[in-house]
């Protein structure tokens, strides 16, 4: 039966397919409600599908995003099926603006899949960021030792879990010593406004690399559902930034408007020194952050490789095989 719902061909192409993330994780766009046009209709309280040019839709969506008029974007929703290590899931649920239903280890047997970072993403503790890692990989010898120790812990936890299940220990107790590297999964439904907030934080370079990987895949799926909203988000949030009063004052001292509506460097200015910025009320860290804000930013590429998508049946088979045979 032909649907009357607003759809996008690009989203329909990937609907229900699974995109791999990390070593055993995935993201699937299970369903979506609405599109860029739905945002326009909500903003204009309009029922006239196809009555406006796409350029008008784009202009309105960019205006709404630029001025943070976010209610219309709450009319679009996306539903994902995701699998991720438990430590990533605990970061993920800090965003409390979604509907979520997680795999139950009290009811179902846990697939014994564990996350291991590859050598490139195994690093020492950052010397400048208490909650991050160094950019360079750790020595290969240390990585090998860490993998060996992780494998020992996981093998022991898996044996204990299998033994307790065989002895008919309650599943809610048998699971309690499984490590944070164990994969969990959930259905996660969120509106577009809150999804963009989530993605802004989680595709940022300061986020943990593992959750960045999930954010990048979800951004690629969003691009297929609402490409105009995606474009505005890239321009105003990902590659844009906010300015404080002092930052605006600093730029105003360097630039002035021209008669033709442009901007020009003020004739009496070619720079602002550190001390002058301090006198304007900026802390040293704020000065460093201002330098970062005006740095040219590379537009990220969130396009997904369609050849990497897997079927639901393939993913289900992998999960099933990860449940030890004596559980069946």
> Catalytic positions, please?
202
Q: Which of these, 111, 82, 86, lies nearest to 180 by C-alpha position?
A: 86
Backbone phi and psi for residue 205, each to the nearest 5 degrees, phi listed first: -60, -20
**Phi and psi at residue 251, in whole multiples of 5°?**
-65, -35
Alpha-carbon span 179 to 47, nearest angstrom: 52
- Number of residues assigned to the chain: 328
| Dihedral angle of Cα 319, 324, 325, 328, to the nearest 10 degrees | -70
CA–CA distance, 290 with 64 (Å, rounded to integer): 25
What angle do helix axes 192-202 and 209-225 make, rounded to 10 degrees? 140
Q: How far apart are CA 302 and CA 220, in angstroms?
A: 5
CB atoms within 10 A of CB 320: 11
C-alpha 172/C-alpha 320 separation (Å) is 19
């Amino acid at each position: 039966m032909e649907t009357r719902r607003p759809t996008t061909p690009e989203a329909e192409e990937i609907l229900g397919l699974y995109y791999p993330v990390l070593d055993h994780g995935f993201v699937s766009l299970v369903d979506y409600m609405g599109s860029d046009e739905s945002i326009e209709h909500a903003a204009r309280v309009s029922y006239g599908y196809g009555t406006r040019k796409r350029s008008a839709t784009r202009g309105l969506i960019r205006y709404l995003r630029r001025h943070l008029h976010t209610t219309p974007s709450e009319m679009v929703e996306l539903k994902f099926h995701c699998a991720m290590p438990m430590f990533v899931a605990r970061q993920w649920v800090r965003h409390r603006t979604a509907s979520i239903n997680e795999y139950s280890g009290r009811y179902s047997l846990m697939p014994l899949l564990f996350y291991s970072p590859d050598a490139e993403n195994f690093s020492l503790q950052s010397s400048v960021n208490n909650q991050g890692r160094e950019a360079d990989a750790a020595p290969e010898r240390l990585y090998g030792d860490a993998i060996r120790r992780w494998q020992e812990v996981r093998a022991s936890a898996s044996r204990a879990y299998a033994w307790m299940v065989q002895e008919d220990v309650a599943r809610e107790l048998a699971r309690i010593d499984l490590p944070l590297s164990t994969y969990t999964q959930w259905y996660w439904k969120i509106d577009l406004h809150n999804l963009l907030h989530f993605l802004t934080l989680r595709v940022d370079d300061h986020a943990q690399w593992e959750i960045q990987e999930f954010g990048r895949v979800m951004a690629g799926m969003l691009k297929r559902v609402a490409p105009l909203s995606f474009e505005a988000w890239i321009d105003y949030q990902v590659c844009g930034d906010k300015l404080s009063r002092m930052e605006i004052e600093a730029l105003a001292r360097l630039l002035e408007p021209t008669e033709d509506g442009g901007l020009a460097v003020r004739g009496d200015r070619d720079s602002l020194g550190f001390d002058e910025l301090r006198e304007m009320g900026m802390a040293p860290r704020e000065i460093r952050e201002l330098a970062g804000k005006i740095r040219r930013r590379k537009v990220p590429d969130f396009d997904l490789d369609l050849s990497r998508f897997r079927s639901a049946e393939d993913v289900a088979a992998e999960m099933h095989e990860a449940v030890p045979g004596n559980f069946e």
